[in-house]
Copies of this chain bind each other. A is one copy, B any other.
Amino acid sequence: METSAEHSGPARRRGRWRTGARSRERILEAARSCFAQHGYDRATVREIAGAAGVDPAMVHYFFGSKSRLFVTAMEFPVNPIDEITEALDADPEELGGRIVRRFVESWDASPGAGPLAALLRSPGDERSETMFSEYIRREIAGHLIPAIPGEDPELRAELIGSHLIGLALSRYVLGLEPLASATPETLATWMGPAIQYYLAGTTAPRGPQQG
């Protein structure tokens, strides 16, 4: 037995799906604009929802949090917070190598795409700088710093970040060889212990074999 409701169901679902996809895209556009205009800290989910013409609940439904909305809007190849959380759960002795390997594998998978790559190509843009600096300080540093022991944890977290961004610049923008062609595994082998040293917070680097 067919009813008009059953007939209209799929069409309405398709319609809803299309409306949802359009809303999601409008939210992402509004997010890019609001983050660029007001920075990461001052842009709010409420303001982004308003600019997209949707309810703030819809932003939470699609993206969960301001942090995830930012990562999606900026087309990050992976969510750095998920990476950090996962890495911190694993063997801390191998954390440095894991961070390098995942970073390189993620960038290799989507070279030169998205606003982050654009910033790397043109770091002089002050609005982008503010937006990314604030995101790095609040979210990445906020998650990483409490997890690393020893003195000057903020400085060491930034030294890790500066080494990774310098690697991205050398490998993907300047194309320096042999660094640009090295495998993620080779880079993890060499660079991992340097990152591990910054994480460990000793004033001199110690390898695993030195205990």
A residues near B, CB below 8 A? 120-124, 129, 132-133, 136-137, 152, 154-156, 158-159, 161-167, 169-171, 173-179, 182, 186, 189-191, 193-194, 196-198, 202-210
Q: What is the minimal beta-carbon distance from A153 to any residue of chain B, in angstroms?
A: 10
Contact yes or no, A159 B176, CB < 8 A: no
- The residue among A152, A162, A196 with the most chain B CB atoms within 10 A of its own CB is A162
- Determine the distance from Cα of A121 to Cα of B171 in the docked complex, in whole angstroms: 17
> What is the oligomeric copy number?
2
- Determine the distance from Cα of A120 to Cα of B119 in the docked complex, in whole angstroms: 11
Q: Which residue of B lies closest to A181 (CB)?
A: B155
Specify which chain B residues have a CB less than 8 angstroms from the CB of A133 in the assembled complex: 174-176
Known: A197-B205, A207-B204, A207-B206. A167 touches B162 (CB 8 A): yes
Contact yes or no, B163 A178, CB < 8 A: no
Contact yes or no, A170 B176, CB < 8 A: no
Q: What is the minimal beta-carbon distance from A27 to any residue of chain B, in angstroms?
A: 27
Question: A203 is contacted by which of B164, B173, B189 (Cβ under 8 Å)?
Answer: B189
Contact yes or no, B197 A193, CB < 8 A: yes
> What are 17 sample pairs from A and B whose C-beta atoms fall under 8 A apart?
A121-B123, A121-B124, A124-B173, A129-B175, A155-B178, A155-B179, A156-B190, A162-B166, A162-B170, A163-B163, A165-B169, A166-B166, A169-B169, A196-B205, A203-B207, A205-B205, A207-B210
Q: A137-B176, A161-B170, A196-B205 are in contact. List 5 more A-B contacts (CB 8 A).
A: A123-B169, A156-B190, A158-B178, A159-B191, A165-B169
